[in-house]
Structure 1
């Protein structure tokens, strides 16, 4: 065996609300020669939540735009799932889809952002990346899937999910945030930060990123949304670095 085979791989968990760029980001991460992610599994967006039968998936808690509000969806080290048996079963099911010769094993699922603490308890040396995107873009694109939810409902869900994620981040040993906008504007610099976080060379194929800015959503937002309905949420959104 070589040195890489002897070393225990690092598990890397990526989370972020639906339509926040997690799939694009995971695809880019998978271009690195030291990272193995899930590809061509047949599961929706190759998400790890659909490649296991141990933890509930987001659809069990209402799906996009709803799941973070479900009390049972929030999982920490105090959860009944926090056990050696849970970790064993998850690894056994996910191992079928990873290249176990790689030093970093990537799992991406939207609900991870409210279960990072549980995942750290299950896999203590793991690292965590939160993918974050403007709530305007997330709201408008999520409404295509959940048209019964109002713009206000979805902005509130965005705020609640990120409140949990950032509060939980205080308990994580290895955590970073990647903003979708930064990735689109300067993929090379953004992935340099990711490489530093993971302590690996910056060998990501950033040329595959086609810059896409969310300007088209601004016009749609202005046309659809009564801004007065969201006035009380503006300060909380600004605290996360965005505007409505």
Structure 2
């Protein structure tokens, strides 16, 4: 405190200014990941689909985290016609028009910022598809549930696969991935936000629904249904996914790498009993048919 008084005294004699203590800035409010920003609000379908899009009928797996999307990804990636890279997070690639000159140039081409972002997303994903030598791309980033409407706007011919898992199992799995950093009181609202948005999307967009429990119990039967939806023949390689190279995996997957390489991913654990389900997840359990 004495140093502050001394500094103020010197400043008063010189510049006649005064130092004061200020309260720390208030933290910025958490942003709703599903809330559209100004760029998303201006999103629109491609003006000329034949030239504005390189991808044709891409497939998006929409799910909450820890719902088995990695398993479904490697199963689909084992098909000779499907390229399913690891999570690309293209929704986080943004474009900024930094000068009035570039804005005027883009306006002259008929592009707003959302249009240019869509061109970027399409090009990034198309590059992965071309490198694979396959005709159809499958993308499975869980956070895509929050931009599902924009994905459908960007690619009007996109197809959607909705992957469900028992809500309490999802919360428990997300918690167990980092027990200290993800206590259950944090895990439940976190995964519930994904599941609520996924359910809204299921009501708005056409698609095919897969349950993780059914996929692990009957992989051939469930993948045959997916192939019917995608209008491609079923291939035996889909149930021998461990024989194929599926690229690098992010940290935190534990022994998934070995399980996927050997094709020994275990069947899902027994479903939680009604007494084990957190109260906040009960409505979603009923909506998805896990409770009577």
TM-score (norm 1): 0.69
Q: Alignment partner for residue 138 of structure 2, among 95, 101, 106? A: 106
In 2, the alpha carbon distance for the partners of 1:186 and 1:23 equals 17
2:151 to 85, 94, 119: 119
Q: Distance in 2 between matches of 1:207 and 1:13?
A: 22
Alignment of 1:198-209 (within 5 A): 198-203=230-235, 204-208=237-241
Q: 1:142 is matched with which residue?
A: 174
* Alignment partner of 1:21 out of 61, 65, 68: 68
Structure 1 unmatched ranges of 5 or more: 1-6, 39-45, 57-80
Residue of structure 2 equivalent to 1:195:
227
Counterpart Cα distance in 2 of 1:234 and 1:171 = 22
- Please say if residues 52 and 94 of structure 1, whose CA atoms lie closer than 8 Å, have aligned partners that are also in contact: no
Confirm or deny that 1:214 pairs with 2:268. yes
Picking from 12, 25, 48, the partner of 2:88 is 48
8 Å CA contact 2:63–2:198 kept in 1: the answer is no
Match of 1:178, SS? strand
Give the C-alpha shift of residue 112 in structure 1.
Answer: 1.3
Q: CA RMSD in A?
A: 3.1
Tell me, in whole angstroms, the C-alpha distance in 2 between the residues paired with 1:153 and 1:52: 24
Structure 2, unmatched stretches of 5+, are 1-53, 96-111, 242-262
Q: TM-score of the superposition, structure 2-length normalised?
A: 0.58
Q: Does 1:177 align with 2:217?
A: no
Partner of 2:66, secondary structure, is coil
Name 2:81's counterpart in structure 1: 34
Aligned to 2:7: none
1:230 is the counterpart of 2:278: yes
Following TM superposition, the consecutive aligned residue runs of length 4 or more in structure 1 with deviations greater than 6 angstroms are none
- 1 or 2 for the larger relative contact order (CA 8 Å, sep ≥6)? 1
Given that 1:13 and 1:128 are in contact with CA atoms closer than 8 Å, whether structure 2 keeps it comes out as: yes
**Are the equivalent residues in 2 in contact too, given 1:137–1:214 (CA < 8 A)?**
no
Match of residue 92 from structure 1: 123
Q: Does the Cα contact within 8 Å between 1:17 and 1:110 map onto a contact in 2?
A: yes
Report the secondary structure of 1:48's partner residue: coil
Query: Structure 1 residues 217, 55: closer, same or farther in 2, change over 3 A?
Result: farther
| Match in the other structure for 2:3 | none
Give the C-alpha shift of residue 199 in structure 1. 0.8
Contact persistence 1:184–1:210 (CA under 8 A): no
Give the greater-gyration-radius structure (CA).
Answer: 2
| Partner Cα distance (2:213, 2:138) in 1 | 22
Determine if contact 1:17/1:158 at 8 Å carries over to the other structure. Answer: yes
Rounded Cα–Cα distance in structure 2 between residues aligned with 1:161 and 1:240? 14
Q: 1:95 to 1:118 in 2, by over 3 A?
A: same
| Aligned positions, number | 198
